Amino acid sequence: MSDQVYIEDLGQHVDQEVTLKGWLYNKRSKGKLHFLIVRDGTGIAQTVVFKGDVSPELFELAGHLTQEASIIVRGQVRADERAPGGYEIGLTGLELVAAPTEEYPIQPQEHGTGFLMDHRHLWLRSRKQNAILRIRSEVIFAIHEFFHLRGFTHVDSPVFTPNACEGTTNLFEVDYFDDKAYLTQSGQLYAEASAMAFGKVYCFGPTFRAEKSKTRRHLTEFWMVEPEMAYGTLEDVMQLSEAFLCHIVARILEKRRPELEVLERDLAKLEAIQAPFPRLHYDDAVKMLNEGGIDFEWGGDFGAPDETLISEKYDRPVLIHHYPRAIKAFYMKPDAENDKLSLSVDVIAPEGVGEIIGGGQREDDLQVLEAKIAEHGLPEEAFKWYLDLRRYGSVPHSGFGLGVERTVAWICGVEHVRECIPFPRMLYRLTP
Ligand code: 4AD
Ligand code: MG
């Protein structure tokens, strides 16, 4: 273990002898040479086995290795621009830890997505998937970093809940001893309670929606981060989401360039993500759609093609605000100047990814909220504790939720959110 070096750190060991512990990713042979491409989770590196440099047994062993054999290699690091990653290792030692007992099912040639998804537990080893999920890990770090730098306290919300947050149509119901519970759709209601106790908070966890939609943007289990600010307004939420997205993208550009290169991501598109972001009133968004030839009626919610048409007009995320009350959740505060509108905002990512953030200012008046809960047909009993927040020192407050997988899809330039979570859960996918 002591002298093990990770491939991502090879640059710090040029002209030194190092040990890599990993797996055989690929292999080529040419006369007196074997090229072993090794992966260790942090990158891939080419090692060269020259017949004249090693024992006949070692040369033979290298020649017989098969894909995904676990191996420990030793050798000298050389800088070589032509090699993947920029370094090459002149192999001097090789140990086979375990040879695969069967042929590895994922071959370098193209496979269909269904096949790859069935083998997700192995597919994670491939370069592109590795790059996406390393970027995801960095995005999650950047999220925590952003909120901690701004004095937010991380207070998590429960996963088992007695009530709905985002409407009752897509709830997962589970047996809870002699009772029923629901898997959380959003941690928001609890984050509101936490905000009244800690001021500025965020919760971050898995959320669940029994979405019957089979789109490239929908998962049934996805991760959401939800900041909530006591005394916050709609304007505060808009400013926070702008600074937040800029922070995440900047950190990925700084720390995850090799992964973005593996994904052949257009870096100029990410470098353009700078404040201020364009803002669009719902009314103006409707006008834009109509002018763009879409027959969209005022009052409706935007679908994927609508969001795409709007986002294509900009090179950075667009904040659409003041949606009609009727299409938003029960907790949204109405606009004092126009009772038909709500103090809500959605952030639409560029390049057709669609909505990545939804949020706004919350109803803080006890009577209005009680009426809203009744109007939405929600069970009064389950919301008693939530109404207490309006009974004891109610204040204006606001927050938002950001979907991690859609954000990762956008940053990575990946078509489908299913590749942006290690083990996706979808309408027709519960395994592996
Ligand atoms: O817009 P949503 O439904 O907002 C809420 O849940 C609020 N309670 C959040 C808040 O104000 N605290 O969801 C927020 C985000 C969406 O913008 C999207 O990025 C993501 O969650 N999201 C999904 N991601 C993947 N699959 C799904 N089925 C998703 N549904 C929402
Ligand atoms: Mg939404």
CB of 234 shorter than 6 A to ligand 1: no
CATH 2.40.50.140 in the chain is located at 7-98
pLDDT of 32-53, one tens digit each?
Answer: 999 999 999 999 999 999 999 9
Please determine, for residue 206, whether its predicted confidence score (pLDDT) is greater than 80. Answer: yes
List the single range of 128-142, 256-270, 314-328, 368-382 with lowest mean pLDDT: 368-382
Please determine, for residue 1, whether its predicted confidence score (pLDDT) is greater than 50. Answer: no
What are the Cα distances from residue 354, in Å, to 118, 134, 219, 376?
Answer: 27, 22, 14, 27
CATH number of 7-98: 2.40.50.140
Fold of the 120-420 domain: BirA Bifunctional Protein; domain 2 (3.30.930)
CB of 192 shorter than 6 A to ligand 1: no
The mean pLDDT value of the chain amounts to 96
CB of 270 shorter than 6 A to ligand 1: no
Q: 């404040």: which residue's tokens? A: 275
At a CB cut-off of 8 Å and minimum separation 6, what does 162 contact? Answer: 181, 182, 382
Contact 46, 34 (CB under 8 A): no
Most ligand 1 atoms within 8 A of CB, residue of 347, 406, 421, 426 to mutate: 406
CB of 328 shorter than 6 A to ligand 1: no
> What burial class does residue 172 get, using C-beta atoms within 10 Å of its C-beta: 0-12 exposed, 13-18 middle, 19+ buried?
middle
CA of 347 to the centre of ligand 2 (A): 9
Ligand 1 atom nearest residue 226's Cα: 12
State the pLDDT at residue 324.
Answer: 98
Q: What's the rounded Cα separation, in Å, for the pair 182 and 403?
A: 20
Residue 190's beta-bridge partner residues?
Answer: none
CATH 3.30.930.10 in the chain is located at 120-420
Q: Please name the residue whose Cα sits nearest to atom 31 of ligand 1.
A: 403
Q: Give residue 332's identity as a one-letter amino acid code.
A: M
pLDDT of 229-262, one tens digit each?
Answer: 999 999 999 999 999 999 999 999 999 999 999 9
pLDDT of 85-120, one tens digit each?
Answer: 899 999 999 999 999 999 999 987 789 999 999 999
State the pLDDT at residue 2.
Answer: 57
Please determine, for residue 278, whether its predicted confidence score (pLDDT) is greater than 60. Answer: yes
CB of 166 shorter than 6 A to ligand 1: yes
